[in-house]
Structure 1
Amino acid sequence: MRKTKTFLVFLCAILIVLYTVIQYGFFDAKLAGLVQFKLQSPDFHVTPWVYFLYAHIVTGALALLIGPFQIFRKQRHAKSRDMHRCLGMVYVISIFISGIVNIYLSLYATAGWIAQTGFIALDLAWMFTTYMAVAKIMRQDLPTHRNWMLRSYALTFAAVTLRVYLGPLSLALGDFELAYRFTAWLCWVPNLVIIEMVIRSRSVKEPTRFAR
């Protein structure tokens, strides 16, 4: 069961990264549906917004791909631990660059202040959980470090859940802007709630395991 969940996380991350790379790497960014929607507004200017978007895509993709290796791979040997540290540094740097860049992008988010607030809250929570993970490992608190990393990656995974929810919601509501307002919160709040339930359930099981 655990292997199946791990595989699905990897698969979703890879598919979203491939989709994003193809959409923005091989084609003009102006052809993307979201960008075309933004261009309908006379106040929107592609430059310099698009450069921040590319920075977000590169750093966000790195974090999305590295996360599963950090969370699911066991560090049994010294080389594995060294690789874990190196990938962890890239993951953390990517998130802080992307988080800062995303605050700028969030100010121009489609659908007004509700979506903007949702994405800014996501960016701040993303950087905070990642900072806490780093702070805990600096104190050699491995269990707490792992829990904060799980929270951090749950927020990284918002890149996947945003795309999962946005299309069906747009069709169901018949209004892209309304769907985008919901998705700005729906893409990350449930992720955080679910991973918190997982963490708490593990903390309940662990004392039982030691007692046996």
Structure 2
Amino acid sequence: MTSSTKWDKLIPAAIILFSVIPVLGGALRLGELGGGAEITPDNARFFASPVPVVVHAITASVYCVLGAFQFSPGFRRSRPSWHRTAGRILVLCGLLGALSGLWMTVFYPKPDDVGVLLTGTRLVFGTAWVAFIALGFAAIRRRDVTGHRAWMIRGFAIGLGAGTQAVTLSAWLVAVGTPDRLSKALLMLASWLINLAVAEWIIRRQVKPSRATVQVRAALRESR
């Protein structure tokens, strides 16, 4: 197996593995709503208005799992029609996931551990998620493949934020204990920033010319 073939399989697998906790969390929430679980102060808002959380759980899960395969260069090259079809589905799921998340942030009653900082953070990154997807879609309509890839990677980084948040919050819970309102907000903010930092590294790594390309360009300049 070549190095590129290994990465073609490892990257989607790693992303899907990273998405397991939020996807399972969404599935449990759907099961809770569909199974008529006991209504408690923690879930009363979901039973009072279930549509947004159902839409968010389904679309965000599809977005994370399906989007993982877009990070396999070999898979994209060998199945270009699949890449385009999946891309359209991802645009729809990403927008619905972001908009439903924004709706819940604005209109759902706030739990005790959600304050102004976390609410504002969710609004900023939820809006950025919508904007990045829109910019990525506009870029591919202009045949700007590089811009399309960059904006879609940034959007995916935000959409995958729940996976990083599960890791950071779990680590804090084990090391320190239950986070308070401020700690939870900062941990969730840090998770989105980590994802965006990784996204920018990937984007710059992709656009950086290879050593062979640099050598060819240098040779051409010298021959002039």
| TM-score interval for Structure 1 and Structure 2 normalised by the shorter chain | 0.7 to 0.9
Matches within 5 A, 1:18-29: 18-21=24-27, 23-28=28-33
Question: Whole-Å Cα distance in 2 between the matches of residues 173 and 14 of structure 1?
Answer: 23
Matches within 5 A, 1:1-212: 2=7, 3-21=9-27, 23-28=28-33, 38=42, 45-73=45-73, 74-77=75-78, 80-107=79-106, 108=108, 109-110=110-111, 111-171=114-174, 172-204=176-208, 206=209, 208-212=211-215
Distance change (3 Å), C-alpha of 1:19 and 1:104:
closer
Unpaired runs of 5+ residues, structure 1, are none
What letter is aligned with 2:68? P
For the Cα contact (< 8 Å) 2:59–2:93, is it kept in 1? yes
What letter is aligned with 2:29? Y
Question: Whole-Å Cα distance in 2 between the matches of residues 173 and 182 of structure 1?
Answer: 15
Distance change (3 Å), C-alpha of 1:180 and 1:51:
farther
Distance change (3 Å), C-alpha of 1:45 and 1:142:
closer
Q: How many residues align?
A: 202
The percentage of aligned residue pairs carrying the same residue is: 19
What letter is aligned with 1:190? I
What letter is aligned with 1:50? P
TM-score by length of 2: 0.77
What letter is aligned with 2:171? P
Unpaired runs of 5+ residues, structure 2, are 1-5, 216-224
**Cα RMSD (Å):** 2.7
For the Cα contact (< 8 Å) 1:169–1:179, is it kept in 2? no
For the Cα contact (< 8 Å) 2:13–2:68, is it kept in 1? no
Q: Which has the higher contact order (CA 8 A, sep 6+)?
A: 2
Shift of 1:57: 0.4
Question: Whole-Å Cα distance in 2 between the matches of residues 47 and 15 of structure 1?
Answer: 22
Task: Name the SS for the 2:76 alignment partner.
Answer: coil
